[in-house]
Structure 1
Amino acid sequence: MGTAMKTVIGAMLMTRRRTATSSALVPSLARSKSRASNLLIGLLAMTTLAGCATAPTGGAYLLPQTSDTASRSVPRDAPLLEVMPVKLASYLEGGSLVYQTDDITLVQASQNHWADDLQAMLTRQLLEQLKASPAIPLSSYRIADTRLSGLEGARLSVSLDRFIGRHDGQSVITGRWRLRDSDGSVLDEGDIQTLTPLADDGYPALVKSLGEGWNVVGDQLAREIAEALPAR
């Protein structure tokens, strides 16, 4: 036990001297850089005490379900809005949760990952929100993620370059969206930028925060798309 404690103390001192954070550590996303550093030191100590007998464990996460996403019925001959699969920056495609430790460093979690394909979850949730939106004329459109029976319609594309946690205790979602008419002309486009505070430390809180942020993005897109879509 004495040797283990010496190892812990040594690891903690070495961690305080370093400014870079190892990607092998499981961070607790805190509300400030100082608190985040202290939590990382504590997690390192716990891992060292566990030794080889207990391997570090992580989690697999799903985005929280949105509330009030009951789909409406629309006529079969209603105009079509096709929602393309959400495009992700390459570093988000690996399946791991990603967090930002400073202004320039992104780290992929080694033990905490998405339980389902992130692109599929984001696209599915966005579809549900758009289908449930009461905004006119969006509410009179048939909304799908594929072409329906060869119908030509408007097309929404969304790309994300950030879907991450940040060292200051917030989740960050940034990207771009573009709405095209059936003839390919651009009806409207804009930026996506949402910051959502974490209610607590840790990956479950990060996932919930990202889910809340994506709900906000979906609501905003529904309103902006409704303003740009032609009434048909």
Structure 2
Amino acid sequence: MKTRIILALLCLLTACSSVPVTRYYRLPDVPLPPTLAGSVDRPVVLLDIKLADFLSAGGIAYQQGEVGLTLAQQNLWAERVQEGVKRVLVARMQQYQPNQLWLGSAPDARISTLTIELSQFNGRDDGKALLGGRWTLRNAEQKLLMQSPFYLEVAQQGAGYDALVLALSEGLDRLSQNISKDF
């Protein structure tokens, strides 16, 4: 009888120690540059982000092999990916294109819109972060001005989800630089 109680307690302790810990990640903040004098007259651009369905699930996506894709169950985004990407890209575009006023939302949608469609925003089993998709720029009348596909690979500096999130953030910085060159 005493042995059964001890075994039951050991089983209970073992079960408690194996509970997986959920970790949450957020893309790092990017400081916004100081506002330019006379900024009222700058052209305004609304930044719109669209994601592939699997990227909105909450888990950090990780590609395995050529076609396998895993969404982490215990390593989750702390904010909606769409909002985090928009927050970072608005700040980066403001850095690289300071003559424009970049907004993440606007009460009046009759302004130019840069839409970024992400079909890839994930890690890969070879230690690289992938960003892929296309961007389009439309004027206030929604006439297409420019568009371009993009695909970026950024090497992770270390292993794990921390390194992956930092590599994805670096990829957003590179994407912002590339888009800015086309303006």
Give the TM-score normalised by structure 1. Answer: 0.67
Q: Which has the higher strand share?
A: 2
> Does 2:46 correspond to 1:82?
yes
The aligned counterpart of 2:93 is 130
Mapping for residues 57-206 of structure 1, pairs under 5 Å? 57-66=21-30, 69-73=32-36, 74-84=38-48, 86-133=49-96, 135=97, 139-147=98-106, 150=108, 152-206=110-164
- Per the TM alignment, residue 143 of structure 1 is displaced from its structure 2 partner at its CA by 2.1
* Aligned-partner Cα distance in 2 for 1:92–1:151: 25
Give the letter for the 1:204 counterpart. Answer: D
The SS at the match of 1:176 is: strand
The SS at the match of 2:15 is: coil
* Aligned-partner Cα distance in 2 for 1:140–1:53: 56
The aligned counterpart of 2:20 is 56
Give the letter for the 1:126 counterpart. Answer: L
- Give CA-to-partner distance per residue, 1:14-41, whole Å, 9 cap, x none: xxxxxxxxxxxxxxxxxxxxxxxxxxxx
- Per the TM alignment, residue 51 of structure 1 is displaced from its structure 2 partner at its CA by 4.7
The question of whether the paired residues in 2 share the 8 Å contact of 1:72 and 1:131 is answered with no
Give the TM-score normalised by structure 2. Answer: 0.84
Q: Which runs of 5+ in 1 are unaligned?
A: 1-49, 227-232
> Does 2:173 correspond to 1:215?
yes
* Aligned-partner Cα distance in 2 for 1:204–1:166: 14
* Aligned-partner Cα distance in 2 for 1:151–1:123: 16
- Per the TM alignment, residue 223 of structure 1 is displaced from its structure 2 partner at its CA by 2.1
- Give CA-to-partner distance per residue, 1:114-170, whole Å, 9 cap, x none: 11111101001111111222x4xxx3222222335x473321111101111101111
RMSD, aligned α-carbons: 1.9
The aligned counterpart of 1:29 is none
Count the aligned residue pairs.
169
* Aligned-partner Cα distance in 2 for 1:126–1:169: 23
The aligned counterpart of 1:38 is none
Query: Identical aligned pairs, as a percentage?
Result: 25
